[in-house]
Amino acid sequence: MLLKLFDIIRIVGVTIAFFFGYQIGFAGETYDAAAQLHFMVPVMIVTIAGITGIESIFFGDKAAELKGFEVGSNYQKQSGIALLSYAFIAAFVYFAQWGIKAELTILFTFIFFFFFSAINHGVNAIKKHNYAWQNINRPFITLILIAGLIYPVLMALKGL
């Protein structure tokens, strides 16, 4: 039950990040990609990476079971620690006001991990016929996430 709640919180958190992020970006007379990403990056990363990191470390066996993966892997805890690191750094960069370059750096690092994680899930679904919802949704959710970030990221890079 708790892991289903984590899924709902991740989806709602990312939805909030996109909804309010795009409102912030288009609030003024000119589009402000940096302001949009300043809101979106920490909310998305803390929501996705933070919750997934907690899930991996404290509820790893049940989470692995839901994804159709092996239970008891130390790599899952290691991955959870990495994800919590992304969440912590995203929050730190936000509160330290390091600016759009730092925010884009943590976003690219997180998206790089998430993209290759999605490939891993997709390969697992194909090779091992692992069609657990928790496994097969990752490639699609990742593509949607990346698609929603393309415009603000390109506009932010253009403004540098």
Q: Using one digit for the tens of pLDDT, what is the confidence trace for 11-53?
A: 999 999 999 999 999 999 999 999 999 999 999 999 999 999 9
DSSP letter for each residue of 61-122:
HHHHHHHTPPSS-HHHHHHHHHHHHHHHHHHHHHHHT--HHHHHHHHHHHHHHHHHHHHHHH
Q: Which amino acid is at 13?
A: G
Share the mean pLDDT of the chain: 93
Give mean pLDDT, residues 96-112.
97
User: Whole-angstrom Cα distance, residue 18 to residue 143?
Assistant: 14
- In 10 A of CB 125, how many CB atoms? 18
What are the sequence ranges of the domains in the chain? 2-158
User: Whole-angstrom Cα distance, residue 123 to residue 36?
Assistant: 33
Give mean pLDDT, residues 94-121.
96
- In 10 A of CB 78, how many CB atoms? 12
